[in-house]
Amino acid sequence: MAIRTIVKHPDPILREKAAPVTKFNANLHKLLDDMAETMYDADGVGLAAPQVGILKRVIVMDCGDGLIEVVNPEIIAFEGEQFDYPEGCLSIPGLRGDVRRHKWVKLRGQDRHGQPFELEAEDLLARCAQHEIDHLNGVLFIDVAERVYPVKPDEEGE
């Protein structure tokens, strides 16, 4: 595994739409392994492939209950609203934002071998999933935040 460089805003690659994964091969597995290592190294809770310069629909998340890898993720159902957590992004260090997100989402995606699965997420994990899927469409939290403000010195990370 290797820690990859995290692309920072305003790099234009963060504005590109990522392509679906069609090959579930060793390259994908290396990308997933590296993304997880990069996310943990940066103390983040989520990372999308465009943030390491790869325009593929791949995300990793860990909101405290273990690593979740989702290839070709999509939101197939959602409910409720949350607006009470300062959202950040490893590609936009130093800023936080108030972002209205669904409180609960159901995701459909594939694992690293191409096996389809569904995943229900709420609260922070639901927020993280929506944030990471936005990355796959070139959308950053500063685009959808109702307010953006500087991070307090003691809370860097996603």
Nearer to Ni ion, 24 or 50 (CB): 50
- State yes or no: residue 60 binds Ni ion (CB under 5 A): no
The tokens describing 145, both together, are 């935040």
**Residue that is written with structure tokens 């130093």 in the block:** 94
Determine the residue with CB nearest Ni ion. 89
Q: Are 128 and 157 in contact (CB under 8 A)?
A: no
Cα of first residue to Cα of last residue in the chain, in angstroms, is 21
**Minimum CB distance to Ni ion, residue 91 (Å):** 5
Identified binder of Ni ion from the candidate list 32, 89, 107, 125, rule CB under 5 A = 89
**Minimum CB distance to Ni ion, residue 110 (Å):** 21
The tokens describing 64, both together, are 């405290």
Q: Is 74 a catalytic residue?
A: no
- Taking phi over 0 as left and psi of -120 to 50 as alpha, with beta for the rest, 40 belongs to alpha
The piece of 6-14, 88-96, 108-116, 142-150 that touches Ni ion (CB under 5 A) is: 88-96
Task: Give me the residues that bind Ni ion (CB under 5 A), please.
Answer: 89
Residues noted as catalytic? 132
